[in-house]
Amino acid sequence: EVQLLESGGGLVQPGEFLRLACAASGFTFNNYAISWVRQAPGKGLEWVSVISGSGANTYYADSVKGRVSMSRDHSTNTVYLYINSLRAEDTAVYYCAKNRDHSGNSQNWFDSWGQGTLVTVSS
Amino acid sequence: QSVLTQPPSVSGAPGQRVAISCTGSSSNIGAGYDVHWYHQLPGTAPKLLIYSNNNRPSGVADRFSGSKSGTAASLAITGLQSDDEADYYCQSYDRSMSAWVFGGGTKLTVL
């Protein structure tokens, strides 16, 4: 059974840095791209970023480009999202989601999701 | 304002059929990119419902079906059940944004 478990959320001040983690199990980790999708309180879903199965390629939404990066650790089957210069509008539940294949190319969907971790940016 | 447009809400009585529309443009659905659908029960994570326009993952009831035509897609639910009350989201890819995009979501109420 595919499992994705996010951690690292919490209350942070504007301008601070945060690292979110997504621990994966139940599938061959190297074979699948992993995305982060966020949901602001009471709002819809917004794709944030993706990392390919090998970790060689990453892509980011314009709304976070320049402030966000991703990495993956194949020894622990964990994906990380790093967010700099946090803003109030980054407040959201952050979900990691397994892509349908390794590439993260355009014809992709999210076939499994974690339970999410809440990030609140406030002074 | 979402790139893909969905009605904010739809409703139907138990046993009835409802449809949820998802309207895009020539840079996403109309460009040939597939549409996928998710549902999200209150307080839970989204779950894949339909992929590649009209395919159901294993375990999803055949009461759920999808279609796509031109710059729009639609999710149909037949034999409505109270358990179907959830938020429903469509998703595609937008080539002008180089990003996956979601609709704003539709809240389904079973009367």
- Rounded distance between C-alpha atoms, residue A72 and residue A18, angstroms: 16
**Interface touch A112/B48, C-beta < 8 Å:** yes
What does pLDDT average to over chain A? 96
Mean pLDDT of the A88-116 span: 94
**Residue in A closest to B34 by C-alpha:** A107
Confidence of residue A103 (pLDDT cuts 50, 70, 90): confident
- Rounded distance between C-alpha atoms, residue B104 and residue A45, angstroms: 7
Mean pLDDT of the A34-43 span: 97
Low-confidence ranges of chain B (pLDDT < 50): none
The per-residue pLDDT for range B49-72, each reduced to its tens digit, is 999 999 999 999 999 999 999 999
Q: Quote the pLDDT of residue A105.
A: 84
The closest alpha carbon to A2, from B5, B47, B30, B60, belongs to: B47
Q: How far is B65 from chain A (nearest CA, A)?
A: 17
Mean pLDDT of the A77-100 span: 97
**Interface touch B102/A113, C-beta < 8 Å:** no
Q: What angle do CA A50, B24, A115 make, to 5 degrees?
A: 40
Beta partners for A20?
Answer: A81
Share of chain A above pLDDT 70, in %: 100
**Interface touch B100/A108, C-beta < 8 Å:** yes
